[in-house]
Amino acid sequence: MTVFDPYASIATLHRAYRSGEISPVEIIDAHLAREDRLEDKLSAYVTRYSDEARQRAKDASEKFLGSNDAPPLAGVPIALKDLVDMEGRITTGGSPERHDRISPSTAIIAERLLAAGAIISGKTHTVEMATGGWGTNEHMGTPWNPWDLKTHRTPGGSSSGSGVAVAAGYCPGAIGTDTGGSVRLPASWCGLVGLKVTEGMLPTEGILPLSSTLDTPGPMTRSVDDALIMFEVLRGVDPGRVNSELEVNSGPHAAIRQPIDGLTFAVLPDSDRDGLDPEILEAYEKSVAALADLGARIVAKSVPPSWDGYSTLETLAIMSYEGYRFNKDIIDDENAKMDEWVKRRLVRGRSEFSDDIYQSALDKRIAHQSEFRREFENIDAILTPTTLTPAIPLTEVDENGSPGRFTRAANHLALCSLAVPNGLTRSGLPTSLMITCHGGHELTALRIGKAFESTDLWRNRHPSNLD
């Protein structure tokens, strides 16, 4: 890897640094130069940490000169969604009213990234208060989806900047958060791998909340292998163990390479396919066929109630009730500068969703989870498209609606879910397959994603005209 590749994976950098093929200083300098050239157009970042990145790259390079015992992410640039606290740094949560909010401490997941050697490249844009799936932000700006440089299209939200940063080749990995699809939606529209973890799998301390019940942080990468590396670091596996298992493809790295023959996958019945863009549906059907060819058993089965049922009252009540209480100081201030659509979504938690309605929603959620476990006991994964359409122009966004028709059920049912690229439309926009598994079965989702990834190297397709 003597020539800089902006799309080099975490796994590739891990090997190249240790072989002496390239140094962290060279990689960081090249990434920063790329950001200098493209950021005025793409606007992925709220804040860039360029000086600190250069210093950490220098420190990492010196460490590699002495030994190969550097932690697994040493020299690897990783971006953080602007909800994740870094002590002494400003974290706004996408709100202009928090433009001077200084983080009192560092989030646990950020501490783990730093302990693993990651170079934090900066804070990325988010939908205000993480409340929206399109990726728009009225006051702080909407990042530009790099797959179309002529038309400003939805980057996906709320982790919009993280999706754009990885897709544009600024960094091989970024952190998003997912309350109703906010890792998977930008992963879908930006052509990435996005892992929504089971609630409680990763710590949320130090992350500005939307919903303490539904929030889950997770990695956004360009390959399944990289998603696993970040997942292992984020869940607190000892960096030395991550290194050793990565070196010989043992442990979870071996587990996700196991064949999928004999697994049973549920797919959408015809009744749940209404509204799907024809090219999204075509890519989905080809993906299902590819997994069947690998030996998976396919059955048509709808989630009870239908997929869209979970994106209505219960999830809305929980998200609005909890989101209002965390952000009430801004929502209740009539003079505060606030995205009108975000306010409309969250203000409902002030009076429309009472304590009784909120508690009823929590109770129904538990009942729905029990029902799901009974009905899907013998199903290993559910396959759906991640989004109904490819990324759409911002001028066509209807903020009254949500693109999270298929994503929200995983949050409501406490499942894990993986979005993986599964093709390009004829106009060159990414499509995405979503693999949803039982709670705690992240390795199963990654295993299926790895098997699917092997059928076509979608991860090697990147936005054109950036270079």
Residues annotated as catalytic are 81, 158, 182
By C-alpha distance, which of 115, 122, 236, 103 is closest to 175? 122
Q: Is 331 exposed, middle or buried (0-12, 13-18, 19+ CB in 10 A)?
A: buried
By C-alpha distance, which of 207, 154, 235 is closest to 401? 154
- For residue 304, cis peptide bond before it (omega within 30 degrees of 0): no
Give rounded-to-5 percent helix, strand, coil for the chain: 45, 15, 45
Q: Which residue has tokens 């072989």? A: 19
Tokens of 456: 């076509």
Q: Which residue has tokens 């929603």? A: 361
H or E stretch including 194?
A: strand 193-196
Residue 175 · residue 219 · CB < 8 Å: yes
Q: What is the spatial distance between Cα 89 and Cα 415, in angstroms, rounded to a whole number?
A: 33
Q: What is the spatial distance between Cα 15 and Cα 19, in angstroms, rounded to a whole number?
A: 6
CA 290, 291, 296, 297 torsion-angle sign = negative
Assign 170 to helix, strand or coil: coil
